[in-house]
Amino acid sequence: MDFLKDNYVRVPVLLYVLGFAVHNAYLSMYGSYEFELIQARYILSGIGFVGFIALSFSYMCIQVNLSYLPDNLKPKKLLPWLLRIASLPSVYYVYLYSYDLSLDLSASPDSLALSIYISFGNFVVMMSLFNLIACLHDGDDLFSKLYRWVGYVSSIPFIFLAFYVASQNEELRDIGIVIVYFVAGLLGLSLQQADSKNGFEPDYLDPDAKEEHENRFQLLVGSIAIFLIMWSAITKYSEVIYPNIPTALGGSKLEAATLFIGDEKIDAEVIQETSNWFLIINSSSGTIEKIKSSGITKIVYQKERLPNTHEPSYCQ
């Protein structure tokens, strides 16, 4: 609360900037950009981006020693940690793609493998959250021992299953790649903590360089690195996560609609709607079109997406 009280102006500005970057990275996939600054949806998009990062990071750090991450690389802690990390994409997949959790034993091997991964992955996530209350990782009762034993024994087979399923499912693979960004960041922080503990300080300049020059150069390199990391995260988020979240929840999910323009009727999927323009995918031609809002007399939104069998081409 003190943080929000002290930064009540900076937080909305940061969310707005992040949302502006996320939304334009998303629109760039369709060959379009939006530079109309006064849009409340940017704050909502920024909340969605920050919320996704906060949820992912918080879950991945359950039962993890953040003070000294190398401690978590020991097998006793590493295997349950990897199990939790490998399970996280399953929850996002269910939410983003409305996956049915029912297990069909008569399905094809690939579909069955996906169902097993999703079902067990969601179970791992729920048990990990339950463990925050029950503290099963420290208990001596039979249930706690069974919980730890299952975590150790199932971790390696489940990780192999996750890799196999991701190799067969493009959407799940994309989500997994986003999660890998978090893992890479935690490993980088682990190396930094190990260096600090051992007294290792990298020298970016010549040993005879002044300390003030060394500090400025480190600040420059650090700023560039942070920018590249943030832009990579925003780009991947806008490609994989953002298009599958409803607009009301900070995303930009395509909305099936029928647009009436005079006597013409266009079935389309709405990419973006502003007071001046509609950016749509024409369901008949598959083209991406930009239509003035003033020319649209009526819009009828559909519950389900319209079928689209055309490869999109770009025009405005």
Q: Where are the domains of the chain?
A: 1-244, 253-301
Please give the Cα distance from 191 to 204 (Å, whole number): 17
Tell me what pLDDT residue 54 has.
92
- CATH (one of 3.50.50, 3.30.1560, 2.30.30, 2.30.110) for 253-301: 2.30.30
Q: C-alpha distances in angstroms, 70 versus 97, 137, 177, 192?
A: 35, 19, 23, 10
Tell me what pLDDT residue 5 has.
59
Q: Is 23 exposed, middle or buried (0-12, 13-18, 19+ CB in 10 A)?
A: buried
CA 193 vs. chain centroid, Å, equals: 26
Please give the Cα distance from 93 to 171 (Å, whole number): 8
Tell me what pLDDT residue 242 has.
92
Helix or strand holding residue 180 (H, E): helix 170-197
| DSSP label at residue 8 | T
Tell me what pLDDT residue 312 has.
42
pLDDT in tens, the chain (316 residues): 555 556 656 788 888 889 989 999 999 888 887 776 667 788 889 999 999 999 999 999 888 888 888 888 888 888 889 999 999 999 999 999 888 877 777 778 888 999 999 999 999 999 888 888 877 777 777 888 888 888 888 999 999 999 999 999 999 999 999 998 888 888 888 888 887 777 776 667 777 777 787 778 878 887 888 888 888 889 999 999 999 998 888 888 888 899 898 888 889 898 888 878 888 898 888 888 888 888 888 888 886 554 544 444 444 4
> No. of H helices and E strands in the chain?
8, 6
Model confidence, pTM: 0.80
C-beta neighbour count of 105 within 10 angstroms: 6
Please give the Cα distance from 275 to 38 (Å, whole number): 11
Q: Kindly state the tokens that stand for 94.
A: 């269910």
| DSSP label at residue 250 | T
